[in-house]
Chain A
Amino acid sequence: MKEKNRQSGRKKGISYAKYGYLFILPFFAAYIIFTLAPQILTFYNAFFENYRDGLTQIGPNFVGLDNFVTLFTPDAGGVIDMLKYFGNTILLWIMGAVPQILIALMLAVFFTSYRLKIKGQQFFKTVIYMPNLIMAAAFSMLFFTLFSPVGPVNQALISSGVIEQSIDFLNIKISVRLLIALMNFLMWFGNTTILLMAGIQGIDQSLFEAAELDGAGSWQVFRKVTMPLLSPIMIYTIITALIGGLQMFDVPQVLTKGLGMPDNTSTTMVMYLNRYLQTSKNYGMAGAISVVLFIISAVLSIIVYRTLTKQYRMKGGRA
């Protein structure tokens, strides 16, 4: 610490430390009021019975872990909603994120290849990044109108004679899931491509040249040079995509009118949380779901980080 002080060439005698505190004060004030306090209040709520039944307010009464017990108790049909929606969320995420990361990696390699020398890169990047900025609710609404029973997709399929009766894409498990995955893929692969491209461009060019001189083929260069050196950025990409995936809400919510149809097979965890918050004002149950969501995102990000750093151990390189 002391050495650092000297290095930065600070004048002796005058302490500017108070400005440091002053400059970060607004950030921390806002963080404490609008995030930390609500966070603690959310966890606190998880241990109380607190909901609205018609016009009567029940609670808040302290109930210990009852909300968590309820959350993980199977219903009459033997289904634990929380686990089902966790499964849905992960499945929907994987369906979108696997192609997202693979295709982004492929495009990043194409764009940075000095052998291929792809032209019109700016155009392609502009187009594939665009869906990332589009309002997810509007994008989802657009897909609903396009794929609705009377929408243009059905009209086109009927008029071209592929089908005779319109397909209710939004009531079939696989098509709803595919649509959600497709939207998530479209919204995120351009972003990932640009991140990975920057990662590849950050790799020392001489390493590629050295590998080439040693007679390594394109695939070998990719496996032995590009991938290991790209791993910090891959970790960053996967973790952020995963955390984003856990928050999946706007797209399935709007596409399925919040119902997660058919039969809640496209209901995500945040949609479940939203039902308790929006409709029944059940803050106890909503609090319990939030705690679970918090733990899952913490654990998952640690796991992904660990496995990936183990797989590609590097010499001190970090993102």
Chain B
Amino acid sequence: MSTSESTKGRVQLTVLRIIVYAILIFLAVLCLFSFYMLVINSTKSNAQLQDTFNFIPGSHFIDNLANAWTDASINIPRGLLNSFIVAGLTAVLTTYFSALTAYGIHVYNFKFKNAVFVFIMAVMMIPPQVSAVGFVQMMNNLHLTNNYLPLILPGIAAPIVFFYMKQYLESVLPMEMIEAARMDGSGEFRTFNRIVLPIMKPALAVQLIFSFVQSWNNYFIPALLLDKAEMKTVPIMIAQLRSADYSKFDMGKVYMFILLAILPVIVVYIILSKSIIKGVTAGSVKG
């Protein structure tokens, strides 16, 4: 390669880099802009918000927070508590039982093992909404509306999380380890709980977060089952805001509601973003 050619190549590369960084910065701004507006607007009074628009924060953050927190029609502290209960319990059940199921299929040989695996893979693609009619009807008949059990217990059967756990076990769990535990007289459940679960810690942590977030954000089914004000979860309350009369509504408070709804997830994400992003791929894409 001659000198002039390599110089040309270097100039080309630099130009290319500049374009790439420009695209990246543009997309990053696009992603952050609406959230920046949310934070800014949550610091402004209703009067300031009706006035002209600017990017300067106001001084009414605490007022808006107090107003939103004590709002008579939308009980956001209760909603946050409800969502924490539902999402927390769902995440624990989903993670534990997905690991248990994956372990059961990974380690043991039984007659319908392959059929069971194929079945779970096939139902993974079925949208949850297509069974909603029967689900709502059943819960009505069982008097389980305005109850969290029908929101939490289905988490035990989570095909996608199962698949993730199965992939993870295939990559980390040597059969020799289970054999050794058996030699030591460890029972099968004990082996799973005391030896296998600790090995799976990274996968469990990632799936705890993902199932928590998914349940936290879930709107469709909870909206069909919860209509008592004190039972409602955050997404239902947020959707309720949309039908409010805006000429009478304090917009500063509205922005504060939205901020409170997404804040818990954002905080967790900022702390754990690195492992969360790793977790996005670890299960689904493996040679």
Contact = CB atoms under 8 A, between A and B. Distances in A.
Interface of A: 1, 4-5, 8-11, 16-24, 26-31, 33-35, 37-45, 103, 106-107, 110, 115-116, 118, 122-131, 133-139, 141-146, 148, 150, 152, 155-156, 159, 186, 189-191, 194-195, 197-199, 202, 233, 236, 239, 243, 246-247, 249-250, 253-255, 257, 270, 273-274, 277-278, 283, 286-287, 290-291, 293-294, 297-298, 301, 319
Nearest to B9: A115
B281 A198 contact: yes
A122 B21 CA distance: 14
B109 A4 contact: yes
Given A11-B182, A293-B127, 4 more contacts: A20-B113, A27-B162, A103-B27, A135-B262
Contacts of A189: 27
Nearest to B116: A24
Contacts of A277: 132-133, 136, 224
B134 interface: yes
Interface SS, B side: helix
B134 A38 contact: yes
B285 A319 contact: yes
Contacts of B38: 142
A294 B126 contact: yes
A135 B109 contact: no
A290 B126 CA distance: 11
Interface of B: 13, 16-17, 20-21, 23-24, 27-28, 30-32, 34-35, 37-38, 41, 50, 52-53, 97-98, 100-101, 103-105, 107-111, 113, 116, 120, 123, 125-138, 150, 153-157, 162, 175-176, 179, 182, 188, 192, 213, 216-217, 219-220, 223-224, 234-235, 238-239, 241-243, 246, 251, 254-255, 258, 261-262, 265-266, 269, 273-274, 276-277, 280-281, 284-287
Contact of B108 (A16, A131, A250): A16
B153 A34 contact: yes
A52 to B, nearest CB: 12
A152 B132 contact: no
B57 to A, nearest CB: 13
Contact of B262 (A138, A144, A146, A239): A138
A27 B216 contact: no
15 contacts: A29-B156, A41-B135, A116-B16, A116-B20, A118-B20, A125-B277, A134-B266, A137-B239, A142-B34, A145-B255, A152-B37, A249-B129, A249-B220, A257-B242, A290-B131
A134 B109 contact: no
A249 to B, nearest CB: 6
A124 B134 contact: no
A141 B133 contact: no
Nearest to A246: B127
Contacts of A246: 127
B132 A290 contact: yes
Nearest to B209: A133
**Which of A139, A144, A236, A286 has its CB near the most chain B CB atoms (within 10 A)?**
A139
Q: What 5 A-B pairs come out closest when comparing CB atoms?
A: A23-B104, A41-B134, A20-B108, A38-B134, A155-B53
B27 A135 contact: no
Given A35-B154, A42-B130, A202-B285, A148 B246 contact: yes
A27 B24 contact: no
Given A23-B101, A27-B97, A138 B277 contact: no
B13 A135 contact: no
A250 B262 contact: no
A145 B38 CA distance: 9
Contacts of B30: 186
Nearest to A40: B134
Contact of B156 (A26, A141, A152, A197): A26
B34 A138 contact: no
A115 B251 CA distance: 49
Contact of B224 (A23, A239, A278): A278
Q: Pick the most buried of A20, A116, A134, A273: most chain B CB atoms within 10 A of its CB.
A: A20
A103 B269 CA distance: 23
A45 B31 contact: no
A297 B126 CA distance: 7
Nearest to B187: A19
A30 B154 contact: yes
A262 to B, nearest CB: 16
A199 B281 CA distance: 9
A40 B126 CA distance: 13
Contacts of A273: 129, 132-133
B130 A293 contact: yes
Contacts of A40: 134
